[in-house]
Each structure stands twice: as structure tokens, then as C-alpha cells.
Structure 1
Amino acid sequence: MTRNNKILVPNARKELDQLKGRVMEAKGYEVNASDPDAVKYEVADEQGIHLKKKNNGQLTSEQAGKIGGPIGGNMVKEMIKMAQEQITRK
């Protein structure tokens, strides 16, 4: 899958990938430290969705959501938790 999403701060890509790796590893997924984005293939397999390395234009919105939802949702939960911890420290 190509990266079509735009990050407001492009320099944050590396840190977001690291966060994705930590979060998904904590959820029990095998994460390749050099390619944490590859965890989407494991999530897709669990959902019974065939995901190719390149063009996945055949995926329905529902299928894409079943793959990206658990990843992004868990990342957002972790970011909220981190923000709450920062607030309580102040």
C-alpha cells in the first residue's frame, strides 16, 4: 500500500512509526523494528483479508477499516494516555 496520508509535521513520520510498533507489540503482534508498518499484514491476515505489498485498490472501505482501525485506534488511545500523563505531571 502506498502512503497517501499526509502528516501535518512530516518529520514526525519516524516517531509515529515507532509508536505504531510499540503499541502493536504491546497488543501481541510481531513487529519488525525496521518496518513497523508491516504489522498491517498480520492484522489483515487475522481479518481474513488478502493484502498485497503494492496496489490494494480492490479493498472495500470496510476491509480497509478492519485493517487500519485497530492500528490507528490503538495508537490514538496510547497518545491520549500519554497526554493525560503529561497533564497530571504538570
Structure 2
Amino acid sequence: MPNQKQKRLLVPQAASALDLFKIEVANELGYPTYGFPAITPENYREVLRRMKYEVAGELGLDRFIREGYWGDVPARLCGAVGGRIGGKIGGNMVRRMIKFAEQNLAQPR
């Protein structure tokens, strides 16, 4: 399917580090860590999954996905879940990365 967009990481080995960073930023924004004492490479996927379901519940989509199946959820509503998570968290991730880069570029070598 040549017309489909494919999301590929330029550095696939960075995927888990990016997910951990996403959870760190989400936690700072007030998203709960769901009783995990610490987010680790072993449990971060479960934290992200729970975060997704919590946002879906806040948007009133839980009636569609009570059994963990998203197939009956209209695409527009799925986009609302991704937008809520991706927009706010992703924007803050970018801000932090820019701040980090600016601080490191300003340091003399």
C-alpha cells in the first residue's frame, strides 16, 4: 500500500527510552502512575495502556471498550484519545527537549 503513511523511528533502539520519557512527562502533568512505585522498562507499557484507558473513560468512550476491544470505536473518537494524550504530553516533551538542547549548546566545551 504505497499511499499509507508509516511511522518509523529513526533510531528504533530509542523506543523504550522515549516511552519512559513520555510517562515521566505525563506524571509531571498529573497523570497517575497507577500504583507502580517506580516506572521501569518492564512495566512502562502497562502504565501507558492504563493511561490510554483512563483518557478514554474521561471522554466517555468506556462503553465502547469495556472488554479492551477498540474495534467498535469510531476513528474520530480514537483520535480524540490520541490527541488528548499525544498533544499535551508530546508538546511538553518537545519543550523539555528544546530546553535541554539550548542548555547544552550554551555550555562552553
Which TM class, normalised by the smaller chain length? Answer: 0.7 to 0.9
2:59 to 32, 41, 47: 47
Q: How many residues align?
A: 85
5+ residue gaps, structure 1, are none
Q: Higher mean Cα deviation, 56-65 or 73-82?
A: 73-82
Task: Tell me the CA shift for residue 7 of structure 1.
Answer: 3.5
- Residue segments in structure 2 that go unaligned for 5+ positions in a row: 1-5
CA distance in 1, matches of 2:14, 2:48: 14
Runs of 4+ in structure 1 deviating by more than 4 angstroms, as ranges, are: none
Deviation at 1:56, TM superposition (A): 1.3
* Mean Cα deviation higher: 79-88 or 56-65: 79-88
Indicate the percent of aligned positions where both proteins have the same amino acid: 31
Does residue 75 in structure 1 map to residue 76 in structure 2? no
RMSD between superposed Cα atoms in Å? 2.1
Q: Is the 8 A contact 1:20 1:71 kept in 2?
A: no
Q: TM-score, normalised by structure 2?
A: 0.63
- Which residue of structure 2 lines up, in the alignment, with residue 36 of structure 1? 47
Of the two structures, which has the highest relative contact order with CA contacts closer than 8 Å and spacing of 6 or more? 1
Contact 2:25 2:93 in 1 (8 A): no
* 2:8 corresponds to: 7
TM-score, normalization by structure 1: 0.74
